Amino acid sequence: MSKIIWSVIDEAPALATYSLLPIVNAFTQAAGVEVVTSDISLSGRVLAAMGLAKDELSELGKVVLQEDGNIIKLPNISASVGQLKECIAELQGQGYDIPDYPENPANDAEKATQTKYSACLGSAVNPVLREGNSDRRVAAAVKKYAQNHPHRLKAFSDNSKAYVAHMAGDGDFYGNEKSVTMDKAQKVTIALNGKELKTIDALDKEILDGTYMSVAKLKTFIAKTIEDAKKNGVLWSIHLKATMMKISDPIMFGHAFTVFFAPVFEKYADTFAELKVNPNQGMSDLEMKIAGHPQEAEIKAAFQAIVESDNPEIAMVDSDKGTTNFNASNDVIIDASMPVVVREGGKQWNRKGDAVECVAVIPDSTYGLFHEEMVADCVKNGQYDVTTMGSMANVGLMAQKAEEYGSHPTTFELAEAGKVTVTAEDGTELMSFECEKGDIWRMSRAKDIPIKDWVRLAVERGQIEKVPVIFWLDENRAHDAEMIKKAKTYLADLDTTGLDIQFMDVTAATRFTNARVRKGENTIAVTGNVLRDHLTDMYPILELGTSAKMLSIVPLLAGGGLYETGAGGSAPKHVDQFLAEGHLRWDSLGEFLALAESLRFLGQKHSDAKLAALTAALDVANDGYLSNDKAPSRKCCEPDNKASHFYVAQYWAEALSKGADAELAAKFAPVAKALSENEDKIIAELIASEGSAKDIGGYYKPDIAKVTAAMRPSATLNAIIDAI
């Protein structure tokens, strides 16, 4: 029997799994496929780190290196320190004997504990599993639905004042970058003033990048954006990615926080030092640290005075709760937040809940250039037309911890000023940098085999789609210059007959793509790892309303497949609603699409006609789900996520009953009949379970019996599915 591994993760998609997976297994087992689970949730990773559970993430790390590896990966929490501490407290309350997270370890034992827990912070999962490059595109049925049911994009006002601010290469990672391609495999040492920071095993033909963010210039830049926002009369916000860039971006966030509220941090410096306030963790952590202190009210009043001064308004994460952009470093995640800025007509929300034109501050111009052009394009040309706009497909360099997303072990907040050197084992100094104390220095890596596969995948997609293939590579960026050399070398070995392949810098590539999008034309963007994230959220959110509806396929280098199911950024709000009233509005379309691609891979790999029939029927079901508009309602006591699973099961069974495989048709004809005849009863049972609070025994680690009962409340549906 073939096997698909389904990841157990967190929040809304985890709740949905309790309803969906019994249906999936009932159908797939009929074609010889077993779907098994692997717990890579935050709570699972915490317990594994403490030796109280199997390390299933490490086990999956082995699966992606196998020829037949097949994993469906749902979105998991990329934990902040605050979320990690909440998870630990919940597990302690459930009886697990684990220590607190020591933010400021005082001895070796606490340092060891911090090291274990730190492995759970940020995006701990993706770098382990993404042993292949990324193929992200929109399915035809999803595109058709979006055009026929266009979501609303809000118009940019005439003479809109919205804009993006970045450092333009003056002291940022882009401007300071140096890059080399290794001519042989050897150890490479990073040192500060001759003292080793890290030694790595570099591979032959691997690209190594070194760069740093000048903190002095960052602070000057932040101060200028505040002054400019005041003059321009716009809302101020900062956009970073503290989840994936878990070392560098929280530090940048902390500097922005302290610059904006400089008088408060200067006046209460001693108090904050005494309380171990860490600005990198934002206002929520600061308020927790000062709670009960004799100066608490005074400090809060000082912050409020800055807010009410002539400074620009700060964008809000939640206006109703008074949560600002400075609440926590991972509250505003750039690849999710910037599409909202564009969608809302260059606006974000102020303290009153009003949408106001804003400046989006993105310090590093490496990615700020993309968002700058996206906003400028709409200011100049107006909002997009969802009914006619073209699509952006993406081929992203992702395998083997490519580029910045693999830089965490080689990112340092420099303890002293001086010279950072990168030196090969044979004595060659590969690069050097003169830095100041506190500067953020990092090394990124891109290995040769993934780059070669990335170029191959780009050509393959171009041959299939017959649209321009654009490599987003900037000859004036050190890393990209090395990448261009490699890409052109590997393109020469491939059949590119009839393909339109071009190399463009970020601004030019954005303009080219947007011009085609506005004409209803499609384009393939071939990008590095971080731009992949930015593009594959921005364009789908504008085009489809959400990036969760994109196909996200990772053809693994070893021969298997990883199928990702989309973004989970709104998942916490979905859980809040479910706990309050039993209604889960999470849309499992990403899971439906990923399952179809996973089954298709197995059917093609093994030339299995039965699997092909099962997959074809699921394609029909997914099309029916969209065309019949069966996505979950946002309102309680209307069909929710559980009902959407019923409809997919109904359409899938009906398609199988009419399909090419006689054995499957005979097996599922009575299932289709039972689901159809009992539709009203099943939907009534599902809706009857809503309208009251649900106790599932935990947010990070729910009680299996309780959450199963809450997510499978229809006895009629359960009986039909369990009897298959």
> Mean pLDDT over residues 117-139, rounded?
91
> Mean pLDDT over residues 42-51, rounded?
97
> Mean pLDDT over residues 622-634, rounded?
94
| pLDDT confidence tier of residue 77, bands split at 50, 70 and 90 | confident
CA gap 307, 303 in Å, rounded = 6
Whether residue 570 is predicted with pLDDT greater than 70 in this model: the reply is: no
**Residue 2 main-chain phi, psi, to 5 deg:** -70, 160
Whether residue 265 is predicted with pLDDT greater than 60 in this model: the reply is: yes
| pLDDT confidence tier of residue 481, bands split at 50, 70 and 90 | very high
CA gap 521, 391 in Å, rounded = 7
Tokens, residue 82: 């605050």
Mean pLDDT across the chain: 95
CA gap 600, 649 in Å, rounded = 18
pLDDT score of 4: 97
Pairing of strands 469-472, 501-504: parallel
Pairing of strands 429-435, 418-424: antiparallel
CA gap 527, 508 in Å, rounded = 13
DSSP 8-state symbol, 104: S
- Closest among 204, 143, 140, 214 to 174, alpha carbons compared: 214
| pLDDT confidence tier of residue 567, bands split at 50, 70 and 90 | low
355-403 pLDDT tens trace: 999 999 999 999 999 999 999 999 999 999 999 999 999 999 999 999 9
- Closest among 399, 383, 391 to 347, alpha carbons compared: 383
Answer for the pair 505, 366: CB distance below 8 angstroms, yes or no: no
Which of 265-279, 324-338, 365-379 bottoms out in mean pLDDT, i.e. has the lowest?
A: 324-338
Three-state SS at 658:
coil
Q: Residues of the chain with pLDDT > 70: what percent?
A: 99
pLDDT score of 244: 85
Tokens, residue 110: 């606490």
Answer for the pair 335, 533: CB distance below 8 angstroms, yes or no: yes
Which of 174-178, 214-218, 306-310 bottoms out in mean pLDDT, i.e. has the lowest?
A: 306-310
19-41 pLDDT tens trace: 999 999 999 999 999 999 999 99
Tokens, residue 405: 């997303």
Three-state SS at 139:
coil
Q: Residues of the chain with pLDDT > 90: what percent?
A: 92
| Contacts within 8 Å (CB) and 24+ apart, 667-670 | 667/30, 667/724, 668/27, 668/30, 668/724
Site of tokens 């093609």: 604
Whether residue 52 is predicted with pLDDT greater than 70 in this model: the reply is: yes
| pLDDT confidence tier of residue 124, bands split at 50, 70 and 90 | confident
Q: Give DSSP secondary structure letters for 514-542.
A: HHHHHTT--EEEEE-HHHHHHHHHHHHHH
HEC profile for 439-457? CEEEEEEECHHHHHHHHHH
Whether residue 569 is predicted with pLDDT greater than 60 in this model: the reply is: no
| pLDDT confidence tier of residue 548, bands split at 50, 70 and 90 | confident
> Mean pLDDT over residues 461-474, rounded?
97
pLDDT score of 322: 87
| E-strand stretches of 131-206 | 134-138, 163-165, 178-181, 186-192, 195-202
295-321 pLDDT tens trace: 999 999 999 999 988 899 999 998 988
Name, in order, each residue with C-beta under 8 angstroms of 721's C-beta and a sequence gap of 6 or more: 22, 23, 26, 649
CA gap 180, 171 in Å, rounded = 20
Q: Other C-beta atoms within 10 Å of 106: how many?
A: 8
Rg of the chain (C-alpha set): 26
Q: Provide the β-strand partners of residue 39.
A: 8
Answer for the pair 131, 556: CB distance below 8 angstroms, yes or no: yes
pLDDT score of 568: 55
Buried b (16+ CB within 10 A) or exposed e, 578-597: bbebbbbbbbbbbbbbbbbb
Name, in order, each residue with C-beta under 8 angstroms of 304's C-beta and a sequence gap of 6 or more: none
> Mean pLDDT over residues 216-221, rounded?
98
Residue 421, H or E segment: strand 418-424
